[in-house]
Amino acid sequence: MKSRKTPARTVSSEVVRHRSRLRPICVTLYPNGLVGLRLHGTRLEVAVDARTIYDLGMKIRVADLRQKK
């Protein structure tokens, strides 16, 4: 897979209520492996490393499998 050279942005279908308005979540993939999350129409962005997202996702999956046993 080729590495990304420019940021890629998309708006998800998930919405969050913020200041009495429903705002969709904007996701930005940066070249250095960061994933940026912000609400549409706002400036505050949270950047998370892709490795951290993967680790957290695996922990959630393992906890879910343990709970189903």
Question: Tens digits of per-residue pLDDT, 1-55?
Answer: 677 789 999 999 999 999 999 999 999 999 988 999 999 999 999 999 999 999 9
**Domain contains 32:** yes
**pTM, full prediction:** 0.77
Is residue 3 a part of any domain in this protein? Answer: no
Report the alpha-carbon distance of residue 60 to residue 51 in Å, rounded.
14
**Residue 40 placed within a domain:** yes
What domain range includes position 27?
8-68
Work out how many domains the chain is built from and give that number: 1
| Domain assignment present for 13 | yes
Residue 29 located in a structural domain: yes
